[in-house]
Every structure is written in structure tokens, then in C-alpha cells.
A = this chain, B = another copy of it.
């Protein structure tokens, strides 16, 4: 299940030089690469597997394949392809996720009932749209359309990550606990080095996306931010460390928790990270390759913001704000354990891991940057309307395409969410 996601980021149809000096693929090639990568993720799943919606927050694989196609059809072909005929008129409604300005859309909890159109028809839909997109790209597109194409590709990459996290959840709810992959390729990793505090300077820093490459609107505008000196952990929190918190009654001590977090612990009966289960005298966890023992030297994963925050408080530390994270990350290369590895499981903790492995919860609520302007029309609903009741996560995970991530990237989830690959990096004030 090796994917071949190409680098993204140019909003020009022309080749451009990348960071490393290599030639950046054409928009056409990028389109081809991303689209095929989605299909590769689904290739080991039967049409039945691709039907499952195991909770309202998750979606069936087939729906992801269709909705990403709908995005290109709706925002590009319908507007910019001369004489475009929709593949099916009903799809404009059926595969709209949440864009209210395009009219109504199905209740998201019903996506698991879409047995029709069948999988084969969805694949035809992809072909139909791909052919016309290729025609369009072959003929060259004006910059504003190229921008939309790049947006559509980044959109599809986001859904690639969800394909993985949603099928993991789906297979976990199935009592047979099937595996998405046969095994998890080992990534070497000896004993975990001691966590060290990296000291960073304060001062006015530039936050948000620079330059002309692609970025989501929520990474803009680039602006100045006054940062205090701070310390950031040299590595992620490990399962071994998290078990110390659990052994110290972390899930039974309300003084460690936010009020809403404590209510959630009680209401949900949380006693460990998501996917963990006690088997005799040891903890096991459900992975994309089935049930495994919890590995002590791996980063803790599938914890909510509430758990990350409680762990940090128990540790005598705190979570970083997103600007601290961004400043610390920007000097590092975007490399690590990403979706391209096909592993879909965090690698053992080592130094850094700022990118890949697990999304890192920050202490920053997801709100607009000063001067934020959402796009006009329905596309403006992409990010802005979710700026409430969510927290920012940074750095990407083992299910994120490498070409999709960057130091300014802002992911966001409600504080109770756990089904993404979410982990913890500590920060502290400079004393």
C-alpha cells in the first residue's frame, strides 16, 4: 500500500523549483499523483468495507472518494470547463459535505446508507471528472483556476488522512477487529533518549504562511506575534510516560483536569487512550494491523486535548501555544513518518518528530489570525466557519501525506476528539 504522493504547493501550472532545488512536478502530474494516491489507500478495501460509517464524525471510504471528486466538479469543472455536463445531477446534493451556500446537503450521519451509487459508479465518477480535469490542465488554466486545483488537491489529501483514520475506527467497531494492513513495518528504534528542554528565544516573530506557495486561508495572513522565551520538549511523550500518569491515578484525580475534561472522563468512562484495552496484566492497542501490545517507546497516541492537557498539568508542564510550535518547527525539515511510508502507526520516540507520527495538540483554540479573510462564496465555508470550540494541532501524523504538511499548517479538532493520530509534546515557561 505504498502511495506515491507527489509534492504539492505550487499554484502555478508551470513547473517550479522546489525547496531542494528539484524540479517541482507540473500541476497535471500533481493531480494525477494525488488522485491515484487516494485510490491506492482504498485498494485493499472491498466495496463493503468502503460502506462503513462507524460514527457520525467518520465517513465511509467510498464517500471520501466521491466527495473529493465532487469538489473538483463543483468548484472547477462546473465553473470553468466550457459546456460541462454533470456526471449525475443528484451528486451535487448527495456529495456536498457542508457547503450551505450550495443548497442543502444530506445529514452526515446518513453517509453509511449510500449503497447506491455503487462503488463502481463512484469510480466512474472519478474517471469522468479526471478526464475533464486533465483536458482542462492540458490546455492550461489561468492562475485563479490553478489555485482552485491546488486547493482541491490539498482537500483530497486531507480526506486521504481521514480515509485511514476512519477505516481504523470502522474496523475497531467491528467485533472481528479486522486489519487494514497485514503488518506494521518496523521502523528502527532503540531505547528512548531522555526528554530534554529546548530553549527558544522570545521576541516578535512572523507567524503564518509566507511567500506564494499554497496555504489554506486559515494560515493567513502572515503577521507579527510577540512571543515570550519558552522551552519545548525535545521529543514526544511516550506510552511509558503516559502509563506513569495512569498509574498515578491520572484518570481519577479531578484536580488534574479541565472541568469539561473531567465531565467527559466520567461520562465516557475513559481510563486510557482510545483503542487501548486491558488484556490480563498488560495493555494492548488496536492498530491498522490489528491488536498489538502497547509499545513503551512509542509516542502516546489517540488522546484527546483533555488528556493531553491533564498529562501536561500532572507533569508540571503545559502544552505549547501554536506560535511556539511554529517557531520551533520552521527551522526543521519536513521529514519523518508520513502516509507515504504506508505504516500508519507512529514510529518509536526519538529526537524531534515535529513532523509526522502524531498531530500535536496545542493550547491554542482555533480562531482566526488577525486580518483573516475567508474566500468569497461557498469556498469561504472551507475553514472559517469552524473557528469555535476546537483546538489547533500541528505537525501532521503518520496518516498525513508528507507533501501536504508545513510548519504553518493548522489542523483543528474538538477537545474531546481522539480518533485521529493525536499525541503530546510538552512546553514550559522559561524560568
The residues of A with any CB-CB pair to B shorter than 8 Å are 46-54, 90, 93-94, 98, 100-101, 106, 110, 112-119, 170-171, 173-176, 178, 204, 223-226, 228, 254-255, 257-262, 305-306, 321, 363-365, 367-368, 370-371, 380-381, 385-389, 415, 429
Contacts and interface: CB of A to CB of B under 8 A. Distances in A.
B110 A173 contact: yes
Most buried by B among A114, A115, A173, A370: A115
Given A115-B170, A174-B113, A257-B385, A367 B363 contact: yes
A254 B363 contact: no
B54 A113 contact: yes
The residue in A49, A170, A365 that gathers the most chain B C-beta atoms within 10 A of its C-beta is A365
A93 B171 CA distance: 16
B175 A90 contact: yes
Q: Across chains A and B, which 8 residue pairs bring their CB atoms closest together, nearest first?
A: A365-B365, A100-B254, A226-B226, A48-B115, A49-B115, A51-B51, A259-B385, A116-B178
Contacts of A254: 100-101
Given A258-B386, A262-B385, 8 more contacts: A48-B48, A101-B255, A116-B176, A259-B386, A260-B389, A305-B388, A321-B370, A365-B367
B49 A48 contact: no
A363 B49 CA distance: 42
A413 B386 CA distance: 18
A170 B113 contact: yes
19 contacts: A47-B48, A48-B48, A48-B51, A49-B115, A52-B113, A52-B115, A54-B110, A94-B175, A101-B254, A101-B255, A113-B170, A113-B174, A114-B174, A226-B226, A258-B386, A260-B389, A306-B388, A388-B415, A389-B415
B387 A258 contact: yes
| Copies of the chain in the assembly | 4
A370 B257 contact: no
A116 B44 CA distance: 13
Contact of A117 (B115, B176, B388): B176
B175 A106 contact: yes
Contacts of A415: 388-389
Contacts of A113: 52, 54, 170, 173-174
Contacts of A115: 46, 48-52, 170, 174, 178
A291 to B, nearest CB: 14
Given A174-B115, A176-B117, A388-B261, A255 B49 contact: no
Given A259-B385, A365-B365, A385-B257, A224 B223 contact: no
B255 A226 contact: no
Given A46-B118, A115-B46, A225-B226, A429 B371 contact: yes
Contacts of A46: 47, 115, 118
A117 B177 CA distance: 11
Contacts of A50: 115
A260 B51 contact: no
B228 A370 contact: yes
A310 B156 CA distance: 29
Contacts of A367: 363-365
Nearest to A324: B370
Contacts of A112: 51-53, 112
Contacts of A174: 110, 113-116
B226 A98 contact: no
Contacts of A173: 110, 113
